[in-house]
């Protein structure tokens, strides 16, 4: 549809100018004849032709609007889907890198708008080129030197605009960190997660001021560039206008001499004006595509990012059920671009069906150990095996499908209660009986009974009729999400940090039942919880310093005993 309308619209200006010239000449001749109706009869067919051209042009314009709208909608959706698909493929370490977020910011901010502009710009160039060719044939046939001065005067402006397109691209690319900071400050002022603290600490003015300062640093540089670009455009625009009036004067002179008719005067003036406008428009479209193309390279760079962690071609299946358990073989790890080690020489065997508690101060490396087991990262040194199989030889999706995890910073999905639990096992997300069974195991069913639409109630405040929950209620739901997994490994990172004492007691009274037949890893700072594990491993400074039962570690009188006594003293 766009192609057809583009070609037909391209031929319209020359046809309309020609028909208008014929109408004027027929009117002039009619004025010289005594028979008015004869003059009208000779002019009427050209009026009908012009009416037909205008009607076709109007229809094509609306078809173009419709085609642009549907194309824009589809293209916007397509790019959003491609960005999400690429994000799904990339490793977690990308999302913990500021440089990656600059790439993502540039891709997301410009991609949809620039991609649409590229597509429409290509069609505009095609239409302008066809129109220009028809004008060139007419103008060159009329007077070659007129074509030379008209079109030659537009070239310097084209070159200058291209240079400023590159400068503008560089400005926006360099400023990606500032744009991300602006979005972050806006989020702080408009999010329910931060607004309470912002108000109570009186952070509104400082945040608004910082937003203004960050914006001004970019804006001042942008204005300087825009002023230079505008001044240059005005200067070269005056040159183009002067060249047009030279050609204009020549056509008027020919008409006064009698070489051209009044209709010819009208025809050539329309052609000259429109040819120069079309030539300038073509240059502007080329520059526009060039500028948009520069920004689109950022989207393509994002799409060209590759997963860093290797994937094996002959993947081993995840053992089920486990027999030997999980073994960390001299595992060391440091995060990319860092020199310090987060974990060092970890040797640990977690037996099948055993519950192991990980203990240590914040930053000791406990959660990092879990990230390695779930292959969010790979060890820098050493290996991790499950039933003797290196997890790097397993299919990553299959491995992660068999592990139920709740992290301390679990996600609060602004979706239905059904989804918030069902996301733990997306294969069974529509299995309401399975979801209700998971909810019944630990308090989430009570939450469902208090909601107006039960499991179909939207949680959170971001959408209409959403119901916000307390921190403890959100954590109960996150626990049920972890238990939705059918896999044999369960990992709970601070699973009761937001729960009240009574519910925490109820959870761990049933802990054995809930972990029956599973190998469980429990991270907690609450020693009343930790002592329920079969064994306890103490991580300090990224190293495994102790492991054993609660009784054994208390008898050793080491780090565990010291931390236990410090916490216990607070209850005496």
Residue 532 belongs to domain with CATH number = 3.40.50.300
Domain extent at residue 559 = 317-402+489-572
Cβ neighbours of residue 467 closer than 8 Å, sequence gap 6 or more: 451, 452, 457, 458, 459, 460
Distance from chain centroid for Cα 172: 17
Q: Domain ends where: 254, 273, 303? A: 303
Specify whether 477 is located in the same domain as 515: no
Residues 394, 427 within the same domain: no
**295 and 370 belong to one structural domain:** no
Q: Name the nearest CA neighbour of 179 among 298, 85, 67.
A: 298
Q: How far apart (Å, rounded) are the C-alpha atoms in residues 147 and 279?
A: 11
- CA-nearest of 523, 122, 464 to 289 is 122
Does 172 lie in the same domain as 264? yes
Are residue 454 and residue 510 in the same domain, yes or no? no
Residue 312 in any domain: the answer is no
Burial class (CB in 10 A: 0-12, 13-18, 19+), 427: exposed
Residues 553 and 430 in one domain: no
In angstroms, the CA 207 to CA 181 distance is 11
In a domain, 298, yes or no: yes
Tokens representing 457 are 């109630």
Q: How far apart are CA 297 and CA 282, in angstroms?
A: 22
Tell me the sheet residues that pair with 434: none
Q: How far apart are CA 356 and CA 333, in angstroms?
A: 21
CB-facing half-sphere around the CA of 117: CA atoms within 13 A: 18
Burial class (CB in 10 A: 0-12, 13-18, 19+), 172: middle
536 and 423 in a common domain: no
User: Domain with 269 in it: what CATH number?
Assistant: 1.20.1560.10
Q: Answer whether residue 350 is part of any domain.
A: yes
The radius of gyration of the chain from alpha carbons, rounded to an integer in Å, stands at 36
Those residues with Cβ within 8 angstroms of residue 300's Cβ, 6 or more apart along the chain or in another chain: none
Task: Note whether 439 and 543 are same-domain residues.
Answer: no
Last residue of a domain, one of 303, 329, 360: 303
Q: Does residue 506 fall inside a structural domain?
A: yes
Q: Are residues 465 and 505 in the same domain?
A: no
CB atoms within 10 A of CB 132: 20
Give the torsion through C-alpha atoms of 349, 351, 357, 359, to 10 deg. Answer: -10
Residue 24 lies in a domain: yes
Sequential pLDDT tens for the chain (572 residues): 556 666 666 666 667 766 776 767 767 676 677 766 776 777 777 778 777 777 877 777 777 777 777 777 777 777 778 888 888 888 878 877 777 777 776 666 656 666 666 666 666 767 667 666 766 666 667 677 666 666 665 666 656 555 555 555 555 565 666 667 777 788 777 776 676 667 666 777 878 888 888 778 766 666 666 676 666 666 666 766 677 667 777 777 777 777 777 776 677 677 667 766 676 666 666 666 666 666 677 777 788 888 877 777 788 888 888 888 999 999 999 988 788 899 999 999 999 989 999 988 877 888 899 999 999 889 999 999 999 999 999 988 888 888 888 887 788 888 888 988 888 888 888 889 888 888 887 667 888 888 888 889 988 887 788 888 888 788 888 888 887 877 788 888 876 665 666 666 666 666 666 677 789 898 887 777 787 788 999 998 889 999 999 889 889 988 888 888 887 776 55
Q: Give domain status of residue 408, yes or no.
A: no
CA dist., res. 525 & res. 359, Å (int): 7
Residue 279: CB partners within 8 Å, gap ≥ 6?
Answer: 132, 150, 151, 154
pLDDT at 87: 80
Measured distance CA(515)–CA(517) in Å, rounded: 6
- Does 454 lie in the same domain as 495? no
Q: 547 lies in a domain?
A: yes
Which tokens in the block code for residue 468? Answer: 């916000």
**Pair of tokens at residue 85:** 């698909």
Nearest C-alpha neighbor of 271 from the set 8, 28, 21: 21
Q: How many CB atoms lie within 10 A of CB 352?
A: 18
Alpha carbon distance 135, 16 (integer Å): 12
Q: What is the dihedral sign for C-alpha 282, 283, 286, 288?
A: negative
Q: Residue 527's pLDDT is what?
A: 76
What torsion, rounded to 10 degrees, do the Cα atoms 484, 488, 494, 496 define? 50
The structural domain count of the chain equals 3
Asked if residue 248 has a cis previous peptide bond (ω within 30° of 0), the answer is: no
User: Which of 449, 494, 440, 441 lies closest to 472, judged by CA?
Assistant: 494
pLDDT of residue 330: 95
Question: Does residue 355 sit within a domain?
Answer: yes
DSSP-derived secondary structure for 127-158? HHHHHHHHHHHHHHHH-HHHHHHHHHTTHHHH
State which of 486, 514, 529 marks the end of a domain.
486
**346 — phi, psi (to 5°)?**
-85, 120
Question: In the prediction, which pLDDT does 476 show?
Answer: 82
Contacts with 426 (C-beta within 8 Å, 6 or more apart), sequence order:
none
Same domain, 496 and 522: yes
Give me the torsion for CA of 164, 169, 175, 181, rounded to 10°. 130
Q: Are residues 298 and 367 in the same domain?
A: no
Burial of 275 (0-12, 13-18, 19+ CB in 10 A): buried
- From residue 289, alpha-carbon distances to 73, 354, 449, 478 in Å are 20, 62, 57, 48
Cα dihedral sign for 44, 49, 50, 51? positive
């Amino acid at each position: 549809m766009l192609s057809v309308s583009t070609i037909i619209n391209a031929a319209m200006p020359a046809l309309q100018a020609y028909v208008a010239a014929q109408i004027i000449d027929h009117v002039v001749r009619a004025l010289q004849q005594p028979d008015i109706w004869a003059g009208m009869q000779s002019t009427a067919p050209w009026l009908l032709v012009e009416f037909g051209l205008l009607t076709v042009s109007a229809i094509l314009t609306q078809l173009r609007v419709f085609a642009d709208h549907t194309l824009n909608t589809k293209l916007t959706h397509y790019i959003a889907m491609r960005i999400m698909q690429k994000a799904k493929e990339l490793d977690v370490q990308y999302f913990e890198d500021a440089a990656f977020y600059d790439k993502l910011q540039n891709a997301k901010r410009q991609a949809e708008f620039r991609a649409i502009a590229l597509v429409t710009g290509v069609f505009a160039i095609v239409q302008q080129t066809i129109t220009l060719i028809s004008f060139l044939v007419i103008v060159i046939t009329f007077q070659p030197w007129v074509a030379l001065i008209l079109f030659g005067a537009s070239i310097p402006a084209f070159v200058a605009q291209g240079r400023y397109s590159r400068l503008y691209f560089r400005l926006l690319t360099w400023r990606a960190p500032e744009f991300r900071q602006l979005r972050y400050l806006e989020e702080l002022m408009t999010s329910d997660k931060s607004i309470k603290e912002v108000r109570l600490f009186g952070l509104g003015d400082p945040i608004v001021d910082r937003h203004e300062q960050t914006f001004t640093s970019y804006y001042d540089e942008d204005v300087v560039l825009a002023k230079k670009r505008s001044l240059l455009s005005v200067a070269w625009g005056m040159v183009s206008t002067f060249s047009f009036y030279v050609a204009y004067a020549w056509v008027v002179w020919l008409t006064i001499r009698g070489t051209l008719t009044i209709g010819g005067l009208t025809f050539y003036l329309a052609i000259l004006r429109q040819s120069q406008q079309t030539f300038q428009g073509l240059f502007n479209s080329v520059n526009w595509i060039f500028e948009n193309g520069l920004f689109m390279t950022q989207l393509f760079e994002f799409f060209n990012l590759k997963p860093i962690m290797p994937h094996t071609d002959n993947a081993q299946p995840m053992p089920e059920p486990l027999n030997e358990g999980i073994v960390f073989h001299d595992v060391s790890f440091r995060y990319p671009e860092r020199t310090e080690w987060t974990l060092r020489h970890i040797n640990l065997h977690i037996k099948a069906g055993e519950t192991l508690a990980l203990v240590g101060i914040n930053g000791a490396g406990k959660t990092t150990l879990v990230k390695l087991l779930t292959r969010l990262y790979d060890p820098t040194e050493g290996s991790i095996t499950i039933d003797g199989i290196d997890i790097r030889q397993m299919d990553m999706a299959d491995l992660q499908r068999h592990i139920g995890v709740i992290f301390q910073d679990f996600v609060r999905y602004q979706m239905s209660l059904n989804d918030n639990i069902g996301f733990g096992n997306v294969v069974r997300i529509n299995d309401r009986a399975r979801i209700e069974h998971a909810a019944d195991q630990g308090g989430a069913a009570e939450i469902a009974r208090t909601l107006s639409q039960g499991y179909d109630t939207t949680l959170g405040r971001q959408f209409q009729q959403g119901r916000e929950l307390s921190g403890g209620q959100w954590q109960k739901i996150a626990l049920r999400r972890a238990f939705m997994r059918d896999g044999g490994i369960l990992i709970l990172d601070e699973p009761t940090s937001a729960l009240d004492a009574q519910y925490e007691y109820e959870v761990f009274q049933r802990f054995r039942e809930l972990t029956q037949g599973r190998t469980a890893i429990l991270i907690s700072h609450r020693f009343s919880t930790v002592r329920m594990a079969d064994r306890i491993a103490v991580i300090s400074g990224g190293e495994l310093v102790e492991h054993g039962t609660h009784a054994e570690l208390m008898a050793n009188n080491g780090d565990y005993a010291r931390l236990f006594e410090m916490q216990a003293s607070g209850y005496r």
